[in-house]
Structure 1
Amino acid sequence: MADMTAAWEPVPRSRTFELVLARIEEQILAGNLRVGDRLPPERELVELLGVSRAAVREALRVLEAQGVVRSRVGTGPASGSVISAMPSDGLSQLLRFHMALANFPLMDVVEARATLERSSARLAAERATEDDLARIRAPLARMDEAGLPREEFNDHDTAFHVAIAEAGGNRLMADMTIAVRSAVRHTLLTAFHKLSDWEAVAARLRAEHHAIYDAIVDHQPQRTGDLVEAHIRGIHRDVVMAVLEPGKPSGRTPRRE
Protein backbone atom coordinates (compact mmCIF):
# COMPACT_ATOMS: atom_id res chain seq x y z
CA MET A 1 0.00 0.00 0.00
CA ALA A 2 1.37 3.41 -0.95
CA ASP A 3 2.57 5.73 1.81
CA MET A 4 -0.40 8.03 2.58
CA THR A 5 1.40 10.15 5.19
CA ALA A 6 1.83 13.16 2.91
CA ALA A 7 -1.86 13.16 2.05
CA TRP A 8 -2.82 13.46 5.72
CA GLU A 9 -0.61 16.31 6.83
CA PRO A 10 -2.17 18.68 9.39
CA VAL A 11 -4.16 21.51 7.79
CA PRO A 12 -4.36 25.08 9.07
CA ARG A 13 -7.58 26.02 10.83
CA SER A 14 -8.07 28.93 8.47
CA ARG A 15 -6.12 30.72 5.80
CA THR A 16 -4.86 34.02 7.19
CA PHE A 17 -6.36 36.18 4.48
CA GLU A 18 -9.81 34.80 5.39
CA LEU A 19 -9.30 36.12 8.91
CA VAL A 20 -8.50 39.53 7.44
CA LEU A 21 -11.69 39.33 5.36
CA ALA A 22 -13.66 38.46 8.49
CA ARG A 23 -12.29 41.49 10.37
CA ILE A 24 -13.15 43.86 7.52
CA GLU A 25 -16.63 42.33 7.25
CA GLU A 26 -17.15 42.88 10.98
CA GLN A 27 -16.33 46.56 10.59
CA ILE A 28 -18.77 46.91 7.68
CA LEU A 29 -21.60 45.09 9.50
CA ALA A 30 -21.00 47.19 12.63
CA GLY A 31 -21.37 50.35 10.57
CA ASN A 32 -17.80 51.47 11.22
CA LEU A 33 -17.04 51.30 7.49
CA ARG A 34 -19.47 52.77 4.97
CA VAL A 35 -19.49 53.42 1.24
CA GLY A 36 -16.77 55.95 0.44
CA ASP A 37 -14.70 55.23 3.55
CA ARG A 38 -11.05 54.33 3.08
CA LEU A 39 -9.51 51.28 4.67
CA PRO A 40 -6.33 51.76 6.68
CA PRO A 41 -3.15 51.48 4.58
CA GLU A 42 -1.67 48.01 4.09
CA ARG A 43 1.15 48.64 6.55
CA GLU A 44 -1.29 49.76 9.23
CA LEU A 45 -3.56 46.75 8.66
CA VAL A 46 -0.57 44.45 9.04
CA GLU A 47 0.18 45.99 12.44
CA LEU A 48 -3.44 46.18 13.60
CA LEU A 49 -4.28 42.59 12.68
CA GLY A 50 -0.91 40.98 13.34
CA VAL A 51 -0.74 39.30 9.94
CA SER A 52 1.59 39.32 6.98
CA ARG A 53 1.42 41.88 4.19
CA ALA A 54 0.72 39.04 1.76
CA ALA A 55 -2.42 38.10 3.72
CA VAL A 56 -3.67 41.69 3.66
CA ARG A 57 -3.04 42.00 -0.08
CA GLU A 58 -4.83 38.72 -0.82
CA ALA A 59 -7.85 39.82 1.25
CA LEU A 60 -7.98 43.15 -0.60
CA ARG A 61 -7.78 41.37 -3.97
CA VAL A 62 -10.77 39.20 -3.00
CA LEU A 63 -12.78 42.23 -1.86
CA GLU A 64 -11.95 44.10 -5.05
CA ALA A 65 -12.99 41.12 -7.20
CA GLN A 66 -16.30 41.03 -5.30
CA GLY A 67 -16.87 44.74 -5.88
CA VAL A 68 -16.73 45.58 -2.15
CA VAL A 69 -13.66 47.83 -2.46
CA ARG A 70 -11.96 49.69 -5.26
CA SER A 71 -8.31 50.64 -5.33
CA ARG A 72 -7.19 54.20 -6.02
CA VAL A 73 -3.57 54.78 -6.93
CA GLY A 74 -1.74 57.72 -5.42
CA THR A 75 -0.75 59.24 -2.11
CA GLY A 76 -3.55 61.73 -1.47
CA PRO A 77 -6.55 61.41 0.87
CA ALA A 78 -8.58 59.66 -1.86
CA SER A 79 -5.95 56.98 -2.54
CA GLY A 80 -5.86 53.45 -1.20
CA SER A 81 -8.69 50.93 -0.84
CA VAL A 82 -12.11 52.55 -0.66
CA ILE A 83 -15.39 50.86 0.29
CA SER A 84 -17.68 50.92 -2.75
CA ALA A 85 -21.35 50.28 -3.30
CA MET A 86 -21.43 46.73 -4.57
CA PRO A 87 -22.70 46.81 -8.16
CA SER A 88 -25.94 44.98 -8.80
CA ASP A 89 -24.36 42.88 -11.52
CA GLY A 90 -21.72 41.74 -9.03
CA LEU A 91 -24.37 40.47 -6.63
CA SER A 92 -26.28 38.82 -9.46
CA GLN A 93 -23.12 37.10 -10.68
CA LEU A 94 -22.37 35.72 -7.22
CA LEU A 95 -25.93 34.42 -6.91
CA ARG A 96 -25.76 32.83 -10.36
CA PHE A 97 -22.52 31.04 -9.51
CA HIS A 98 -23.95 29.84 -6.20
CA MET A 99 -27.09 28.51 -7.83
CA ALA A 100 -25.17 26.85 -10.65
CA LEU A 101 -22.73 25.12 -8.31
CA ALA A 102 -25.17 24.21 -5.53
CA ASN A 103 -27.15 21.99 -7.93
CA PHE A 104 -30.54 22.81 -6.42
CA PRO A 105 -33.46 20.59 -7.51
CA LEU A 106 -35.29 22.22 -10.41
CA MET A 107 -38.55 22.46 -8.51
CA ASP A 108 -36.83 24.32 -5.67
CA VAL A 109 -35.64 26.87 -8.21
CA VAL A 110 -39.13 27.12 -9.74
CA GLU A 111 -40.63 27.61 -6.27
CA ALA A 112 -38.14 30.39 -5.48
CA ARG A 113 -38.68 32.02 -8.86
CA ALA A 114 -42.48 31.93 -8.61
CA THR A 115 -42.40 33.43 -5.11
CA LEU A 116 -39.93 36.17 -6.03
CA GLU A 117 -41.55 37.19 -9.27
CA ARG A 118 -45.05 37.12 -7.86
CA SER A 119 -44.03 39.68 -5.26
CA SER A 120 -42.05 41.91 -7.60
CA ALA A 121 -44.83 41.81 -10.22
CA ARG A 122 -47.36 42.96 -7.63
CA LEU A 123 -45.07 45.85 -6.77
CA ALA A 124 -44.67 46.68 -10.47
CA ALA A 125 -48.46 46.90 -10.85
CA GLU A 126 -48.49 49.42 -8.00
CA ARG A 127 -45.40 51.47 -8.87
CA ALA A 128 -44.53 51.19 -12.57
CA THR A 129 -43.88 54.53 -14.28
CA GLU A 130 -44.27 55.27 -17.98
CA ASP A 131 -40.53 54.65 -18.42
CA ASP A 132 -40.86 51.31 -16.62
CA LEU A 133 -43.74 50.32 -18.88
CA ALA A 134 -41.68 51.21 -21.94
CA ARG A 135 -38.85 48.98 -20.72
CA ILE A 136 -41.31 46.11 -20.23
CA ARG A 137 -42.90 46.67 -23.65
CA ALA A 138 -39.59 46.59 -25.55
CA PRO A 139 -38.77 42.87 -25.11
CA LEU A 140 -42.48 42.09 -25.44
CA ALA A 141 -42.47 43.66 -28.91
CA ARG A 142 -39.36 41.72 -29.89
CA MET A 143 -40.95 38.42 -28.84
CA ASP A 144 -43.88 39.22 -31.14
CA GLU A 145 -41.56 39.13 -34.18
CA ALA A 146 -42.14 36.15 -36.43
CA GLY A 147 -39.41 33.54 -36.90
CA LEU A 148 -37.30 34.69 -33.96
CA PRO A 149 -34.60 32.09 -33.08
CA ARG A 150 -35.28 30.33 -29.80
CA GLU A 151 -32.13 31.73 -28.15
CA GLU A 152 -33.15 35.30 -28.98
CA PHE A 153 -36.71 34.65 -27.88
CA ASN A 154 -35.45 33.35 -24.56
CA ASP A 155 -33.15 36.37 -24.10
CA HIS A 156 -36.09 38.75 -24.65
CA ASP A 157 -38.20 36.59 -22.35
CA THR A 158 -35.57 37.07 -19.65
CA ALA A 159 -35.43 40.82 -20.30
CA PHE A 160 -39.22 41.01 -19.94
CA HIS A 161 -39.18 39.36 -16.52
CA VAL A 162 -36.20 41.41 -15.35
CA ALA A 163 -37.87 44.67 -16.47
CA ILE A 164 -40.93 43.79 -14.39
CA ALA A 165 -38.77 43.04 -11.35
CA GLU A 166 -36.94 46.36 -11.76
CA ALA A 167 -40.24 48.21 -12.14
CA GLY A 168 -41.19 46.93 -8.70
CA GLY A 169 -38.55 49.23 -7.24
CA ASN A 170 -36.94 46.66 -4.94
CA ARG A 171 -33.31 46.38 -6.06
CA LEU A 172 -32.56 43.23 -4.08
CA MET A 173 -35.59 41.41 -5.46
CA ALA A 174 -34.63 42.51 -8.96
CA ASP A 175 -31.07 41.24 -8.56
CA MET A 176 -32.29 37.92 -7.21
CA THR A 177 -34.76 37.63 -10.08
CA ILE A 178 -31.94 38.17 -12.57
CA ALA A 179 -29.84 35.50 -10.87
CA VAL A 180 -32.63 32.92 -10.66
CA ARG A 181 -33.83 33.55 -14.22
CA SER A 182 -30.25 33.25 -15.49
CA ALA A 183 -29.84 29.99 -13.57
CA VAL A 184 -32.71 28.36 -15.49
CA ARG A 185 -31.71 29.75 -18.89
CA HIS A 186 -29.89 26.60 -20.02
CA THR A 187 -32.72 24.36 -18.81
CA LEU A 188 -35.34 26.40 -20.65
CA LEU A 189 -33.33 26.47 -23.87
CA THR A 190 -32.74 22.73 -23.71
CA ALA A 191 -36.47 22.16 -23.41
CA PHE A 192 -37.28 24.68 -26.15
CA HIS A 193 -34.92 22.97 -28.60
CA LYS A 194 -36.52 19.59 -27.94
CA LEU A 195 -40.02 20.85 -28.71
CA SER A 196 -41.65 19.73 -31.92
CA ASP A 197 -44.41 22.34 -31.50
CA TRP A 198 -42.25 25.34 -30.64
CA GLU A 199 -44.49 27.85 -32.42
CA ALA A 200 -47.47 26.80 -30.30
CA VAL A 201 -45.44 27.20 -27.11
CA ALA A 202 -44.08 30.56 -28.28
CA ALA A 203 -47.64 31.72 -28.97
CA ARG A 204 -48.64 30.67 -25.46
CA LEU A 205 -45.72 32.55 -23.94
CA ARG A 206 -46.58 35.69 -25.91
CA ALA A 207 -50.22 35.56 -24.83
CA GLU A 208 -49.34 35.08 -21.17
CA HIS A 209 -46.75 37.87 -21.29
CA HIS A 210 -49.26 40.29 -22.84
CA ALA A 211 -51.82 39.42 -20.17
CA ILE A 212 -49.24 40.14 -17.45
CA TYR A 213 -48.31 43.44 -19.08
CA ASP A 214 -51.97 44.49 -19.38
CA ALA A 215 -52.54 43.73 -15.69
CA ILE A 216 -49.55 45.93 -14.77
CA VAL A 217 -50.85 48.77 -16.97
CA ASP A 218 -54.26 48.46 -15.30
CA HIS A 219 -52.64 48.61 -11.82
CA GLN A 220 -54.03 45.24 -10.70
CA PRO A 221 -51.47 43.85 -8.21
CA GLN A 222 -53.41 40.72 -7.24
CA ARG A 223 -54.18 39.74 -10.82
CA THR A 224 -50.61 40.49 -11.92
CA GLY A 225 -49.18 38.29 -9.19
CA ASP A 226 -51.58 35.48 -9.99
CA LEU A 227 -50.78 35.63 -13.70
CA VAL A 228 -47.02 35.66 -13.16
CA GLU A 229 -47.07 32.73 -10.76
CA ALA A 230 -49.38 30.69 -13.00
CA HIS A 231 -47.18 31.51 -16.00
CA ILE A 232 -43.95 30.39 -14.34
CA ARG A 233 -45.37 27.22 -12.82
CA GLY A 234 -47.33 26.35 -15.96
CA ILE A 235 -44.40 26.63 -18.35
CA HIS A 236 -42.17 24.52 -16.12
CA ARG A 237 -44.92 21.94 -15.63
CA ASP A 238 -46.26 21.74 -19.19
CA VAL A 239 -43.06 22.38 -21.15
CA VAL A 240 -39.85 21.91 -19.18
CA MET A 241 -40.85 18.94 -17.02
CA ALA A 242 -42.99 17.38 -19.75
CA VAL A 243 -40.09 17.45 -22.21
CA LEU A 244 -37.07 16.83 -19.99
CA GLU A 245 -38.54 14.61 -17.26
CA PRO A 246 -41.77 13.05 -18.60
CA GLY A 247 -43.77 11.15 -16.02
CA LYS A 248 -42.13 12.86 -13.05
CA PRO A 249 -44.40 14.73 -10.58
CA SER A 250 -44.50 18.39 -11.50
CA GLY A 251 -44.14 19.86 -8.01
CA ARG A 252 -46.15 21.82 -5.48
CA THR A 253 -49.56 23.35 -5.96
CA PRO A 254 -49.54 27.16 -6.35
CA ARG A 255 -50.49 29.01 -3.20
CA ARG A 256 -53.67 31.04 -2.94
CA GLU A 257 -53.95 34.40 -1.18
Structure 2
Amino acid sequence: MSVEWQPVRQSRTHELVLESIEQRVFAGELKAGDRLPPERELAPVLGVSRSALREALRVLETIGVLVAQAGRGPDAGARIVRNPDDALGRLLRLHFALGSYRLEDVLEARVVLERSSFAAAAEHASAEDLDEAEALLVRMQEPSVGVAEFNDLDTRFHVQIARSSGNQLTSTLTSAVRESVRPLILRALEAAEDWPATADGLNVEHAELLRLVRAGQGAEAADLAEKHIRGFHGTLVDEKDEGGEAAG
Protein backbone atom coordinates (compact mmCIF):
# COMPACT_ATOMS: atom_id res chain seq x y z
CA MET A 1 0.00 0.00 0.00
CA SER A 2 1.37 3.42 -0.96
CA VAL A 3 1.33 5.90 1.91
CA GLU A 4 1.02 9.61 1.16
CA TRP A 5 3.22 11.60 3.54
CA GLN A 6 2.55 15.29 4.31
CA PRO A 7 4.78 17.95 5.92
CA VAL A 8 4.20 18.55 9.64
CA ARG A 9 4.29 21.77 11.70
CA GLN A 10 7.71 22.78 13.01
CA SER A 11 6.90 23.37 16.71
CA ARG A 12 7.73 20.40 19.01
CA THR A 13 8.80 18.69 15.84
CA HIS A 14 9.46 15.14 16.99
CA GLU A 15 6.03 14.97 18.69
CA LEU A 16 4.40 16.11 15.48
CA VAL A 17 6.29 13.42 13.59
CA LEU A 18 4.91 10.91 16.11
CA GLU A 19 1.40 12.21 15.51
CA SER A 20 1.86 11.89 11.75
CA ILE A 21 2.96 8.26 12.03
CA GLU A 22 0.26 7.45 14.61
CA GLN A 23 -2.44 8.87 12.34
CA ARG A 24 -1.36 6.55 9.55
CA VAL A 25 -1.42 3.56 11.91
CA PHE A 26 -4.91 4.50 13.14
CA ALA A 27 -6.09 4.92 9.54
CA GLY A 28 -4.78 1.48 8.61
CA GLU A 29 -2.26 2.90 6.17
CA LEU A 30 0.62 1.46 8.22
CA LYS A 31 0.45 -2.07 9.59
CA ALA A 32 2.79 -4.45 11.40
CA GLY A 33 5.51 -5.51 9.00
CA ASP A 34 5.43 -2.32 6.93
CA ARG A 35 8.69 -0.43 6.47
CA LEU A 36 9.06 3.30 6.75
CA PRO A 37 10.90 5.15 3.99
CA PRO A 38 14.62 5.76 4.63
CA GLU A 39 15.38 8.75 6.83
CA ARG A 40 16.92 10.68 3.94
CA GLU A 41 13.61 10.37 2.05
CA LEU A 42 11.08 10.65 4.89
CA ALA A 43 12.60 13.68 6.67
CA PRO A 44 12.29 16.11 3.72
CA VAL A 45 8.82 14.83 2.84
CA LEU A 46 7.67 15.56 6.40
CA GLY A 47 9.55 18.85 6.35
CA VAL A 48 11.64 18.05 9.44
CA SER A 49 15.30 17.52 10.26
CA ARG A 50 16.68 13.99 10.34
CA SER A 51 17.53 14.47 14.03
CA ALA A 52 13.87 15.23 14.83
CA LEU A 53 12.80 12.20 12.81
CA ARG A 54 15.30 9.97 14.64
CA GLU A 55 14.02 11.21 17.99
CA ALA A 56 10.47 10.27 17.04
CA LEU A 57 11.59 6.85 15.80
CA ARG A 58 13.46 6.22 19.07
CA VAL A 59 10.28 6.92 21.02
CA LEU A 60 8.34 4.46 18.85
CA GLU A 61 11.07 1.86 19.31
CA THR A 62 10.98 2.33 23.09
CA ILE A 63 7.22 1.72 23.27
CA GLY A 64 7.52 -1.42 21.18
CA VAL A 65 5.84 -0.46 17.90
CA LEU A 66 8.94 0.00 15.78
CA VAL A 67 12.26 -1.73 15.29
CA ALA A 68 15.17 -0.02 13.56
CA GLN A 69 18.19 -1.78 12.11
CA ALA A 70 21.26 0.01 10.83
CA GLY A 71 23.00 -0.90 7.60
CA ARG A 72 22.22 -1.12 3.93
CA GLY A 73 20.89 -4.68 3.57
CA PRO A 74 17.29 -5.78 2.95
CA ASP A 75 16.55 -5.75 6.69
CA ALA A 76 17.93 -2.27 7.28
CA GLY A 77 15.67 0.64 8.19
CA ALA A 78 12.64 1.10 10.43
CA ARG A 79 9.81 -1.43 10.46
CA ILE A 80 6.44 -1.38 12.25
CA VAL A 81 6.15 -4.30 14.71
CA ARG A 82 3.94 -5.56 17.51
CA ASN A 83 6.09 -6.01 20.61
CA PRO A 84 4.14 -4.72 23.63
CA ASP A 85 5.34 -7.18 26.28
CA ASP A 86 8.94 -6.01 26.65
CA ALA A 87 8.10 -2.33 26.29
CA LEU A 88 5.25 -2.37 28.81
CA GLY A 89 7.25 -4.49 31.23
CA ARG A 90 10.17 -2.06 31.09
CA LEU A 91 7.88 0.92 31.62
CA LEU A 92 6.02 -0.66 34.53
CA ARG A 93 9.26 -1.81 36.15
CA LEU A 94 10.65 1.74 36.07
CA HIS A 95 7.47 3.24 37.50
CA PHE A 96 7.41 0.62 40.25
CA ALA A 97 11.02 1.42 41.11
CA LEU A 98 10.14 5.13 41.22
CA GLY A 99 7.32 4.47 43.64
CA SER A 100 4.47 5.19 41.24
CA TYR A 101 2.73 1.98 42.36
CA ARG A 102 2.63 0.38 45.78
CA LEU A 103 3.82 -3.19 46.18
CA GLU A 104 0.36 -4.06 47.53
CA ASP A 105 -1.19 -2.78 44.28
CA VAL A 106 1.13 -4.94 42.20
CA LEU A 107 0.23 -7.96 44.33
CA GLU A 108 -3.49 -7.42 43.85
CA ALA A 109 -3.04 -6.86 40.13
CA ARG A 110 -1.13 -10.15 39.85
CA VAL A 111 -3.85 -12.00 41.73
CA VAL A 112 -6.63 -10.68 39.48
CA LEU A 113 -4.71 -11.27 36.25
CA GLU A 114 -3.40 -14.72 37.09
CA ARG A 115 -6.66 -16.03 38.50
CA SER A 116 -8.15 -15.12 35.13
CA SER A 117 -5.21 -16.60 33.21
CA PHE A 118 -5.22 -19.98 34.95
CA ALA A 119 -8.99 -20.32 34.76
CA ALA A 120 -9.02 -19.48 31.05
CA ALA A 121 -6.00 -21.67 30.33
CA ALA A 122 -7.85 -24.66 31.79
CA GLU A 123 -10.50 -24.09 29.15
CA HIS A 124 -8.54 -22.88 26.14
CA ALA A 125 -4.88 -23.98 26.38
CA SER A 126 -3.62 -26.37 23.72
CA ALA A 127 -1.58 -29.44 24.56
CA GLU A 128 1.41 -27.82 22.87
CA ASP A 129 1.09 -24.71 25.06
CA LEU A 130 1.02 -26.80 28.22
CA ASP A 131 3.91 -28.97 27.04
CA GLU A 132 5.98 -25.80 26.78
CA ALA A 133 4.96 -24.84 30.32
CA GLU A 134 5.89 -28.30 31.56
CA ALA A 135 9.30 -28.09 29.91
CA LEU A 136 9.95 -24.94 31.94
CA LEU A 137 8.99 -26.74 35.14
CA VAL A 138 11.32 -29.65 34.31
CA ARG A 139 14.20 -27.21 34.00
CA MET A 140 13.23 -25.50 37.26
CA GLN A 141 13.50 -28.82 39.08
CA GLU A 142 17.07 -29.49 37.96
CA PRO A 143 19.48 -29.38 40.93
CA SER A 144 21.97 -27.26 38.98
CA VAL A 145 19.53 -24.38 38.44
CA GLY A 146 20.65 -21.27 40.28
CA VAL A 147 18.44 -18.64 41.84
CA ALA A 148 18.59 -16.17 38.94
CA GLU A 149 17.73 -18.82 36.34
CA PHE A 150 14.96 -20.17 38.55
CA ASN A 151 13.46 -16.69 38.78
CA ASP A 152 13.64 -16.32 35.00
CA LEU A 153 11.98 -19.71 34.44
CA ASP A 154 9.35 -18.90 37.06
CA THR A 155 8.46 -15.70 35.20
CA ARG A 156 8.33 -17.52 31.88
CA PHE A 157 6.04 -20.21 33.32
CA HIS A 158 3.46 -17.71 34.53
CA VAL A 159 3.63 -15.78 31.26
CA GLN A 160 3.30 -19.00 29.24
CA ILE A 161 0.10 -19.90 31.10
CA ALA A 162 -1.24 -16.40 30.42
CA ARG A 163 -0.42 -16.74 26.73
CA SER A 164 -2.18 -20.09 26.57
CA SER A 165 -5.35 -18.52 27.98
CA GLY A 166 -6.32 -17.16 24.57
CA ASN A 167 -6.42 -13.54 25.76
CA GLN A 168 -3.45 -11.61 24.36
CA LEU A 169 -4.08 -8.51 26.47
CA THR A 170 -4.17 -10.57 29.67
CA SER A 171 -0.93 -12.19 28.56
CA THR A 172 0.74 -8.82 27.96
CA LEU A 173 -0.44 -7.37 31.28
CA THR A 174 0.59 -10.51 33.19
CA SER A 175 4.03 -10.36 31.62
CA ALA A 176 4.40 -6.67 32.44
CA VAL A 177 3.27 -7.01 36.05
CA ARG A 178 5.43 -10.06 36.71
CA GLU A 179 8.42 -8.36 35.07
CA SER A 180 7.91 -5.28 37.25
CA VAL A 181 8.69 -7.25 40.40
CA ARG A 182 11.31 -9.59 38.93
CA PRO A 183 14.27 -7.83 40.64
CA LEU A 184 12.44 -7.74 43.98
CA ILE A 185 11.50 -11.42 43.80
CA LEU A 186 15.05 -12.31 42.81
CA ARG A 187 16.45 -10.56 45.88
CA ALA A 188 13.91 -12.35 48.08
CA LEU A 189 14.84 -15.73 46.59
CA GLU A 190 18.52 -15.00 47.09
CA ALA A 191 17.83 -14.15 50.74
CA ALA A 192 15.93 -17.37 51.43
CA GLU A 193 17.44 -19.17 54.44
CA ASP A 194 16.92 -22.58 52.85
CA TRP A 195 16.99 -22.14 49.08
CA PRO A 196 16.54 -25.84 48.16
CA ALA A 197 13.45 -26.08 50.38
CA THR A 198 12.06 -22.82 48.98
CA ALA A 199 12.58 -24.03 45.41
CA ASP A 200 11.01 -27.41 46.19
CA GLY A 201 7.94 -25.75 47.70
CA LEU A 202 7.45 -23.46 44.71
CA ASN A 203 7.98 -26.35 42.29
CA VAL A 204 5.34 -28.46 44.03
CA GLU A 205 2.81 -25.65 43.64
CA HIS A 206 3.81 -25.05 40.00
CA ALA A 207 3.37 -28.73 39.19
CA GLU A 208 -0.06 -28.81 40.83
CA LEU A 209 -1.11 -25.65 38.98
CA LEU A 210 -0.18 -27.26 35.68
CA ARG A 211 -1.97 -30.50 36.61
CA LEU A 212 -5.18 -28.61 37.37
CA VAL A 213 -4.99 -26.71 34.09
CA ARG A 214 -4.44 -29.93 32.14
CA ALA A 215 -7.43 -31.47 33.94
CA GLY A 216 -9.62 -28.52 32.99
CA GLN A 217 -10.19 -27.58 36.63
CA GLY A 218 -10.16 -23.84 36.11
CA ALA A 219 -11.73 -22.75 39.39
CA GLU A 220 -9.33 -24.87 41.42
CA ALA A 221 -6.37 -23.64 39.37
CA ALA A 222 -7.45 -20.03 39.95
CA ASP A 223 -7.71 -20.58 43.71
CA LEU A 224 -4.29 -22.21 43.88
CA ALA A 225 -2.78 -19.46 41.71
CA GLU A 226 -3.98 -16.86 44.20
CA LYS A 227 -2.62 -18.88 47.14
CA HIS A 228 0.68 -19.35 45.30
CA ILE A 229 1.06 -15.62 44.57
CA ARG A 230 0.01 -14.47 48.02
CA GLY A 231 2.24 -17.06 49.63
CA PHE A 232 5.55 -15.74 48.30
CA HIS A 233 4.72 -12.34 46.84
CA GLY A 234 2.63 -11.69 49.94
CA THR A 235 5.67 -12.14 52.18
CA LEU A 236 7.36 -9.34 50.25
CA VAL A 237 4.48 -7.03 51.15
CA ASP A 238 4.75 -8.07 54.81
CA GLU A 239 8.51 -7.45 54.79
CA LYS A 240 7.99 -4.02 53.23
CA ASP A 241 5.48 -3.13 55.93
CA GLU A 242 7.90 -4.20 58.64
CA GLY A 243 10.76 -2.27 57.04
CA GLY A 244 8.67 0.82 56.44
CA GLU A 245 9.51 1.18 52.75
CA ALA A 246 9.15 -0.72 49.49
CA ALA A 247 12.10 -2.30 47.79
CA GLY A 248 12.43 -1.11 44.20
Q: Give 5+ residue unaligned stretches, structure 2.
A: 1-9
Q: 1:31 to 1:81 in 2, by over 3 A?
A: farther
Q: 1:26 to 1:196 in 2, by over 3 A?
A: same
Check the 8 A contact 1:120/1:165 in 2, yes or no: yes
Residue 96 (structure 1) aligns with: 89
Q: 1:19 to 1:204 in 2, by over 3 A?
A: same
Residue 56 (structure 1) aligns with: 53
Residue 26 (structure 1) aligns with: 23
* Residues matched between the structures, number: 230
RMSD in angstroms over aligned alpha carbons? 3.2
TM-score, length basis structure 1: 0.74
Q: How far off its partner does 1:20 sit? A: 0.8
| Inter-partner Cα distance in structure 2 for 1:119 and 1:231 | 14
- Return the letter of the residue paired with 1:233: R
TM-score, length basis structure 2: 0.76
| Inter-partner Cα distance in structure 2 for 1:96 and 1:162 | 12
Residue 227 (structure 1) aligns with: 224
Where does 1:32-181 land on structure 2 (aligned, <5 Å)? Answer: 32-37=29-34, 39=36, 49-64=46-61, 66-68=64-66, 83-86=79-82, 88=83, 91-103=84-96, 104-146=101-143, 148-181=145-178
Q: 1:134 to 1:43 in 2, by over 3 A?
A: closer
| Inter-partner Cα distance in structure 2 for 1:190 and 1:107 | 17
Residue 193 (structure 1) aligns with: 190
- Return the letter of the residue paired with 1:59: A
| Inter-partner Cα distance in structure 2 for 1:217 and 1:39 | 44
Q: Max radius of gyration: which structure? A: 1
State whether structure 2 residue 176 is matched by structure 1 residue 183: no
Once the two structures are superposed, residues 95-114 of structure 1 have per-residue CA deviations (whole angstroms, 9 ceiling, x without a partner) of 22212221321111112222
Q: 1:209 to 1:49 in 2, by over 3 A?
A: same
Q: How far off its partner does 1:37 sit? A: 4.3
Q: Secondary structure at the match of 1:55?
A: helix
Once the two structures are superposed, residues 131-166 of structure 1 have per-residue CA deviations (whole angstroms, 9 ceiling, x without a partner) of 112111112122333464322322222222122112
| Inter-partner Cα distance in structure 2 for 1:79 and 1:179 | 29
Fraction of identical pairs, as percent: 44
